Structure 1
């Protein structure tokens, strides 16, 4: 293994100034997301989700499934470690790391369960294999072998015959969506000499705010 302390990347001279920011966090996020897609950043919708549960802090990579004025959307098994942690403490953090553009977006906020109709609408749009997988996996729980999981998957394929309809595999009752409503959104631009630009939009009253409401946010520049 190489010495990771000796690996260095110069992030260049691209900067981020207040005048560069869009009118509100939603527009700025969408702009940077689109630029990450254009730069062929792998899985630009991947984000780290940090939670604090009864057993302590944990983090994992999940996928962004939507963003609008309300906040950021993800879906998961609601019996998983992350879901149990959110039930314990809804304060969460998200981190998008786009290495190809030397940018990050860090979000702090509160997670809440999405209405069931939104979950079911999204679930119906998933590939059949993913819908079967949502039933097959008791996420975060121990299992002796991967063969057991495959056996369960095959059993579920028989239980839910393929009719070609998105309704042939219904959403499990224990599977659902979360909306992360933000009270802080940081836009980080890597720069040379590690003197990175960090522009942070903070909710004026400290509580989650609409991402498209420019008046609800104040700007801070933070040292790298």
Structure 2
């Protein structure tokens, strides 16, 4: 029989930083890039890790962690398998959400937007930059699908590795990049007494961004 797990007494105060309206630009991307740079410079563990939320056609949400590879042309870029669970959900519903969480800096960024595949040439260019083993792994992994054992996938990896020794490893058609175009971005800075600083940018019809402070 499972025992109850009581966690209500685990608490900490957030007090290392603040966020004021006066330091926020008219558009959110410069601030997002600034926070990303600060996370990298502060040696935060996995500073480019982000949670990606998708939903099935029936509305069932799911979340997983991927690594941001670029913020390019105002879009958030990552790479994954098109036939993975998230890839299938993206194909059915292109509305997604992203979250960056940096515990060490007591900061979060939440993004909502729409997603689309990158052109094949851009996915090819990035794939060619990946380490050899990562390229082999992308070719042999039926991402999100059931497999009989770890030994099964290791054997596939070994066979594919031998096939391409001394040769260029081509990108599989089932793998490539996605770009998320945001329409809502929230910046969250932890503060003491749970009175956190939260600011929300929302994209307007004329292409400008509104900025609103919201209650913690």
TM-score past 0.5 threshold: yes
- Alignment deviations for residues 152-196 of structure 1 (CA, whole Å, 9 cap, x no partner): 001101221134xxxx11100110110000001111000011111
By how many angstroms is 1:54 displaced? 3.3
The whole-number CA distance in structure 2 between the counterparts of 1:90 and 1:159 is 36
- Say whether the 8 Å CA contact 1:188–1:198 is kept in structure 2: yes
Q: Which residue of 2 aligns with 1:175?
A: 175
Q: Give the counterpart of 1:35 among 34, 38, 51.
A: 38
Is 1:223 aligned to 2:215, yes or no? yes
Q: Which residue of 2 aligns with 1:106?
A: 110
Q: Please, what TM-score do these two structures have when normalized by structure 2?
A: 0.93
Q: Please, what TM-score do these two structures have when normalized by structure 1?
A: 0.90
- Say whether the 8 Å CA contact 1:40–1:100 is kept in structure 2: no
Q: Which residue of 2 aligns with 1:50?
A: 53
1:1-224 aligned within 5 A? 3-12=6-15, 14-54=17-57, 56-163=60-167, 168-205=168-205, 216-224=208-216
- Alignment deviations for residues 57-91 of structure 1 (CA, whole Å, 9 cap, x no partner): 11000110100233100100100000100011100
The whole-number CA distance in structure 2 between the counterparts of 1:150 and 1:54 is 33
By how many angstroms is 1:23 displaced? 4.2
- Say whether the 8 Å CA contact 1:119–1:177 is kept in structure 2: yes
Runs of at least 4 residues off by over 6 Å:
none
For structure 2, the residue ranges without an aligned partner over 5 or more in a row are none
What is the number of residues matched between the two proteins? 212
